[in-house]
A = this chain, B = another copy of it.
Amino acid sequence: MKVEQLCIAARDASRALATLPRARKDEALIAVAEALDRRAAEILTENREDVKLARENRLPDAMVDRLLLDEDRLKEVSASVRALAAFPDPIGQIVDGWRLENGLELRKVRVPLGVVAVVYEARPNVTVDAACLCLKTGNAVILRGGSAAKHTNRILTEVVQGAVIEAGLPREVVAYLSPDDRRELTELIQQRRYVDLVIPRGGEQLKDYLLEHSRVPVVYAAGGNCHVYVDAAADLDKAVEIIINAKCQRPGVCNAAETLLVHEAVAAAFLPRAVEELKRRGVELVVDEATAGILADPSLKRATEADYETEFLALKLAVRVVASIDEALDHIARYGTRHSEAIVSDDLVAANRFTAEVDAGCVYVNASTRFTDGGQFGLGGEMGNSTQKLHVRGPIALDDLTCVKYVLWGDGQVRG
């Protein structure tokens, strides 16, 4: 019952928020940014508590790092809230419109979804990002973070709620569900009457759990098994830069590359150079027979089926030589997760085939897969990257937290 009450309160608050003018929402965002700056010391104290517990519980270093806030990181968070306030308001945008034959004036107008639940793991910046993206788009939000970030998330939610109240909005536009009781999560994702959307930000396990139990529509921000294909007509200098960036610039994220596919016509010229640079950066390789032959390095491990299927999220890369672009396309169709895929080629025909035939959210020609990001695309932030096809594909940005409404003005039209 407690969870249902929380959802009903969020739904009621969302009605007031839906028609709020832009200025009121942006005032609230600025108030959030100021409160984050003002209460930085309190926030960092709570965060140290989470980090201490995480170390005691021997959580992996990467996870502790994602959990950790410091003054610089907190300043980045408040700066991104200010940037969001300066961004145009998607709500009220007339997406399309025309006059029907009978004179009815039709407009397709962007409106908020209503209530959005965000279920996430240990990254406390998501608390602020999710709350502010929803505020900007006129949606009430229900935050359900991971238990490792419990203290940080609680204080951050309090700070956001305080600013929201200060700006004259009901506290319930930003609701918080404690991570202590897993049954409450299950209840939350079944509140179809009151919650319009669930966005999970976590691993495949969380995704599978929601797939099984959610009765609320879900947008999955899921993993990326991304490829860079170096074509026969590739500029090899660019190809080296691109695979290094796609693999090494930030290996732990979903838009990093996991497999390098190389056309056999350039494999002998390209692979030794690329591999030298990759190894210098500490990248572990798993390779097919052809690559091993070209590199003449018996210490290299062979890539297995499982390797091709794995999102390493680490300095590890599978390498395979292909006989044609068709073989590359087949490999990507088979192993890719429809996230981000790149071709390096100066051949227009190859580039066109690749962009037309690869079924993925983001397809690149002569650029790193690492650009798949709402901020990089200029969309004013994001809530992860969707690998699904319904509602949103690619960065989940402001427009994707809205829906549309048809509004039709007439003067007595009836249907004949």
Instruction: Decide yes or no whether A335 CB sits under 8 A from chain B.
Output: no
Instruction: Decide yes or no whether A370 CB sits under 8 A from chain B.
Output: yes
Q: Is the CB of B403 within 8 A of A367?
A: no
**With the chains together, A333 CA to B12 CA distance in Å?**
11
Instruction: Decide yes or no whether A41 CB sits under 8 A from chain B.
Output: no
A24: shortest Cβ distance to chain B, in Å?
15
Segment with Cβ contacts to B, from A51-59, A156-164, A274-282, A387-395 = A387-395
Segment with Cβ contacts to B, from A74-82, A98-106, A291-299 = A98-106
Q: Is the CB of A414 within 8 A of B365?
A: no
A416: shortest Cβ distance to chain B, in Å?
8
**With the chains together, A192 CA to B211 CA distance in Å?**
10
A90: shortest Cβ distance to chain B, in Å?
13
Q: Is the CB of A415 within 8 A of B376?
A: yes
| Chain B, residue nearest A242 (CB) | B414
Q: Is the CB of B215 within 8 A of A408?
A: no
| Chain B, residue nearest A113 (CB) | B389
Q: Is the CB of A368 within 8 A of B217?
A: no
Q: Is the CB of A410 within 8 A of B363?
A: no
Instruction: Decide yes or no whether A412 CB sits under 8 A from chain B.
Output: yes
**With the chains together, A333 CA to B217 CA distance in Å?**
20
Instruction: Decide yes or no whether A362 CB sits under 8 A from chain B.
Output: yes
Contacts of A409 in B (CB 8 A): 351, 355, 364-367
A355: shortest Cβ distance to chain B, in Å?
5
| Chain B, residue nearest A99 (CB) | B378
What size tier do the contact residues of chain A reach? 35 or more
**With the chains together, A98 CA to B377 CA distance in Å?**
9
**With the chains together, A370 CA to B372 CA distance in Å?**
43
Q: Is the CB of B390 within 8 A of A197?
A: yes
Contacts of A242 in B (CB 8 A): 412, 414
| Chain B, residue nearest A243 (CB) | B414
Instruction: Decide yes or no whether A45 CB sits under 8 A from chain B.
Output: no
Interface string of A353-366 (1 = CB under 8 A from B): 00111011111111
| Chain B, residue nearest A196 (CB) | B389
| Chain B, residue nearest A239 (CB) | B412
- Whether A363 touches B407, Cβ cut-off 8 Å, given contacts A104-B371, A114-B389, is yes
A99: shortest Cβ distance to chain B, in Å?
9
- Whether A363 touches B408, Cβ cut-off 8 Å, given contacts A15-B333, A114-B389, A219-B390, is yes
Residues of A near any B CB (own CB < 8 A) = 15, 18-19, 98, 100-101, 104, 106, 111, 113-114, 192, 196-197, 211, 215, 217, 219, 235, 237-238, 241-242, 244-246, 249, 333, 351, 355-357, 359-368, 370-372, 376-378, 388-391, 393-394, 403-415
| Besides A359-B405, A366-B410, 15 new A-B residue pairs in contact (Cβ under 8 A), listed by A number | A18-B357, A100-B376, A104-B367, A196-B390, A211-B215, A217-B388, A351-B409, A362-B405, A363-B407, A364-B409, A366-B413, A367-B410, A368-B415, A377-B406, A394-B404
* Contacts A/B (CB < 8 Å), 5 sampled: A113-B389, A211-B215, A217-B388, A363-B408, A390-B403
